[in-house]
A and B are shown apart, each in its own frame.
Chain A
Amino acid sequence: MLKKRLIPCLFLKNGFLVRSQGFNEHQLLGNAIHQVERFNAWEVDELIYIDITRDDHYDIRRDDMKVKSESDILKILEAVSKTCFMPLTFGGRIRTLQDIYDRISRGADKVTINTQALADPTFITESSMVFGSQAIVVSIDVKLNANGEYEVYSHHGQQPTGLHPVAWAKQAEQYGAGEIFLNSIDRDGMANGYDTALIRQVAEAVSIPVIACGGVGQFKHLAQGINDGLADAVAAGNIFHFTELSGKRARKELLKAGIHVRN
């Protein structure tokens, strides 16, 4: 049986790591690098690092820190990969094959594609032909719409697409995606646990790995993503910033729940 993976996510906005809620409320946590050092020390399985900046502005607004403020995302990625010893997935703002090349040549092992995959699904095929499907993660942001149905949203969770996540995940797989990163906009920052019904529907519909994200407020929620949601990997953002040794504590909880993780 394949081992389940534990994956912290870092969200970067305008040069700051942020605590995210509902995809629109972002509290500034600090610079791009320090938390990566901690995840290294805790030996988590992988790291997902997503740039959610909506304009072209990267500025940590101070110059008296040891880690200097970088004004460009590729420089930030270089610094992150120098620090990061675990497999690194880097996402956000990817529109072209050149964008993927720029990230992989700077140390990313995989990239996530979201809005561009929706705009042109053949981009998934092209990029997995060039870089290998193992390097192409399609990221899907889901929200319950006015009719109470799951719907995929693009552009940082701002634009409805009319697609159901199950249908879109199956398509993404056919187009050549290596993995699905499934995030719930409604659960983001709410700390009330994963939307396991959503995760299960998607995980049962595709044969590529599904990484669950969105809603973890206690480490025991991680196990629910695997046991109830049938996810292959469990990811979370905010919670890893709150307490000491959070990565280690998360792994212990998974082991305690009888989940087959690396120990």
Chain B
Amino acid sequence: MQYCTRCVYPSISAVPLGFDENGVCTGCRAHDQKKTIDWAERAEWIKEIADEYRVTDGSNYDCIIPVSGGKDSWYQTWYAKEVLGLNPLLVTYNSNNYLQVGLRNLKRMREVFGVDHHFFTPSPQTLIKLNRLCFKKMGDMNWHAHCGIFTYPVQVAVKYRIPLIIWGEHGYTDLGGMFSMNDLIEMTAKFRLEHAQRGYDWFDMLDREEGEEEGLQARDLLWARYPSDDELEEIEVRGIYLGNFVNWDGNEQTELMKKFGFEESPVPFDRTYRRVSNLDDMHENGIHDYLKFVKFGYGRASDHACKDIRSGKMTREEGVEMVRKYDHVKPRDLLRWLQYVGMSEAEFDAIADTFRDSRVWQKNSSGEWTKENIWGTPSAYPVPSLTESNIEWSEFQKQAVPQ
């Protein structure tokens, strides 16, 4: 295992990344590249794009903004509305897991900026089946959310004939340095399928494999079908990333959005020190991310520390401390999820173990999982049982929207 010498990323990770001869990761290098960019010029470029798509006769929306109500959504909406003067249609895919603070932010956002909002929720029964099925299939119960977020707004673009979609940051370039900032990459069906959905599409959910029978049918997954190439071509759908045009700084933007009324989580998360991210889904910073630790041996505290180290908000030593404190924690939202889908914790742990990466995890003589650590010495990570230790429902679950 190799760790970036500047941030805290490990070489075995969910985002594909490489290392240069000094051991610096491609994510850090992409961040360096941002310092060499003429952002004033880029701001002009996005103004030109906005002018090209602006509907001057008032017959349609100018663009779509996919939003969860999080800090990035606020910033995208503010930028489109206030800086570019566009009339956007906001589109939300609801994963059925909102925290109350997340829903408050979503509602307040459309009030503050005065925009139309399209809010879509699949059938909760379908979502429960997908949670269970995808956990077993790929160790990710939130596949449906990645699919919904990257599919539904594009469906709306095609149906309402609104060609321009404004996404936020290209996560894989920001975290892992997948592309150069000069590539001006745009959203593609391939990115959705391979990276957001791990290669699985809606029809893969109709499988009847042993132990995976959920009885899902095509009619349950209409919202998960990406438009065809012909449909995309007909109105020339184009998904740009705002992160290519503004010098994206999540912390600065959050401070700006707080002035408009964006609210951070009133209680801390179990698995990261940040309180401003992933408020739209109580499991995203919770078991969804815990499964990343089970697979690859690191978690969201590492992601957040990387961002904060690169932007100069944190030293690498402080980052390593965050990794040590948070990455391994088994989060309490698991209790809600087990109840939601009807599974026991023992069954959850047993299935999760099948996804452990053998390059990361070894078993010691007492049968505990052990792995290397960024601070040098390896350690064992026994899996606690939340059910047996009578852990209280967390503040999050009390705050979660009643399902």
A66 contact set on B, CB distance < 8 A: 138, 198-200, 204
| Cβ-defined contact, A38 with B190, below 8 A | yes
B186 adjacent to A244 (CB under 8 Å): yes
Question: Within 8 Å of chain B (Cβ to Cβ): is A257?
Answer: no
Q: Measured between alpha carbons, how far is A250 from B209 in the docked complex, in Å?
A: 41
Contact partner of B179 (CB less than 8 A), chosen from A19, A63, A245, is: A19
By beta carbon, the residue of chain B nearest A13 is B18
Interface-located stretch among A27-35, A49-57, A105-113: A27-35
Are the C-beta atoms of B198 and A64 separated by less than 8 Å?
A: yes
Tell yes or no: A220 within 8 A of B by CB: no
Stretch at the interface among B89-97, B231-239, B386-394: B231-239
B288 within 8 A of A: no
* Contact, CB under 8 Å: A238 / B183: yes
A136 to B56, CA, bound (A): 56
- A61 in contact with B359 given A28-B26, A244-B237 (CB within 8 Å): yes
Answer whether residue B274 sits at the interface, using C-beta atoms and an 8 A cutoff.
no
Q: Is the interface of B mostly helix, strand, loop or mixed?
A: loop
Task: Let me know if B195 and A27 touch, CB within 8 A.
Answer: no
Q: Which residues of B contact A189 (CB under 8 A)?
A: 180
Q: C-beta contact mask, A19-48 vs B, less than 8 Å → 1, else 0?
A: 101000011111100110110011000000
B296 interface residue (CB < 8 Å to A)? yes
- The proximity string for A residues 250-263 relative to B, scoring 1 for CB distances below 8 Å and 0 otherwise, is 00000000000000
B190 engages A34 (CB within 8 Å): yes
B229 contact from A21, A30, A42, Cβ within 8 A:
A42
For the complex, is B357 an interface residue (Cβ under 8 Å from A)?
Answer: yes
Question: A185 to B355, alpha carbons, bound, how many Å?
Answer: 41
> A219-248, CB under 8 A of B: which get 1 and which 0?
000000000000000000010011111001
Chain B residues near A26 (CB-CB < 8 A): 18
Complex contact B229–A64 (CB within 8 A): no
- Who on chain B is nearest to A37 by CB? B190
Considering only residues 100-143 of chain A, those with a C-beta below 8 Å from chain B are none
Residues of A within 8 A of B14 (CB): 62
Q: Return chain A residues, CB-CB under 8 Å to B198.
A: 64-66
A191 within 8 A of B: yes
**With an 8 A cutoff between CB atoms, is A205 at the interface?**
no
Which residues of chain B are within 8 angstroms of A245 by Cβ–Cβ distance? Answer: 229, 232-233
**Cβ of A117 to closest chain B Cβ, rounded Å:** 29
Q: Are A27 and B295 neighbours in the complex by a CB distance under 8 Å? A: no
Which residue, B13, B178, B237, has most C-beta atoms of chain A within 10 A?
B178
- What residue in chain A is nearest B185 (Cβ atoms)? A242
Residues B189 and A244 in contact, CB atoms below 8 Å apart: yes
Complex contacts, B138 vs chain A, CB 8 Å: 64-66
- The interface residues of chain A lying within 8 Å CB-to-CB of B216 are none
Q: B199 and A62: CB pair below 8 A?
A: no
B190:A64 contact, CB within 8 angstroms: no
Q: Chain A residues near B185: list those with CB within 8 A.
A: 241-243
Shortest distance between the CB of B45 and any CB in chain A (Å): 14
* Structural contact, B140 and A64, CB atoms closer than 8 A: yes
Query: Considering only CB atoms, which chain B residue lies closest to A238 in the complex?
Result: B183
Task: Please name the residue on chain B nearest to A41 by beta carbon.
Answer: B229
CB distance from A60 to the nearest CB of B (A): 8
Check A242–B229 contact: CB distance below 8 A: no
What does the 1/0 interface line of B172-201 toward A look like (CB < 8 Å)? 000011111011111111100111001110
17 contacts between A and B (CB under 8 A): A19-B179, A19-B180, A28-B16, A28-B178, A35-B190, A38-B189, A61-B16, A62-B14, A62-B357, A63-B355, A64-B140, A64-B295, A65-B138, A65-B198, A189-B180, A242-B183, A248-B229
Sample of 7 further A-B pairs with CB below 8 A, known A34-B193, A65-B199: A21-B180, A29-B16, A34-B190, A61-B11, A64-B295, A243-B188, A243-B238
